[in-house]
Amino acid sequence: MKIGVIFDDFVKSDKNYTLMDKINTFVNDRNDEVCGFLTNISHKVIDTFFAYANISDIAHFNNGLVIATSLDGADVMNKTSVHSDKCFYIWEMDWMGHPFNFYGVYNILSNPKIKKIVRSQLQADIIKNNFNVEVDGIDEDFNLEKIYEICQRK
């Protein structure tokens, strides 16, 4: 299994700590490749047991699964021509708290080439009601094995 995870940055936040901890645990338990891609280089919340690079290097990440963890990361992933499966893991819908470009978000969520995974049924319902888009799966704790399995479904 070859997985790339797009982060906005590594600054201190519950989201970054949890994602990095889950990836560290995953790579310690398995012999799979995981690489983080950063849109903004920053200091790490915790030590990483996985490689990471600038988002510009994502063009070289082929034949794997790319997971965006934010709307900005999903936008970058949507615009890249990388030859990997694409997934938007919707940690939180932070764009809903302020004015946003509806069609920009809709273009990402409605793209059939991007699998959508949310953390709860409530998030799935909100996306369905606001964007008329069904999510591909629910995973509340960023389980990379489960995310990979969901993304392999046709």
The CATH number covering residue 84 comes to 3.40.50.2000
Could you report the per-residue pLDDT of 64-116, keeping only the tens digit for each? 999 999 999 999 999 988 889 999 999 999 887 788 889 999 999 999 999 99
Could you report the per-residue pLDDT of 13-52, keeping only the tens digit for each? 899 999 999 999 999 988 889 999 999 888 888 889 999 9
User: For residue 54, with 0-12 CB atoms within 10 Å meaning exposed, 13-18 middle and 19 or more buried, which class applies?
Assistant: exposed
Separation of alpha carbons 154 and 10, rounded Å? 32
Strand, helix or coil for residue 1:
coil
Q: How many CB atoms lie within 10 A of CB 62?
A: 12
Could you report the per-residue pLDDT of 116-143, keeping only the tens digit for each? 999 999 999 999 999 999 999 999 999 9
Domain total in the chain: 1
Is pTM, for the whole model, over 0.85?
yes
Question: For residue 3, what are the β-bridge partners?
Answer: 34, 65
Query: Which residue range(s) make up the domain with 123?
Result: 2-152
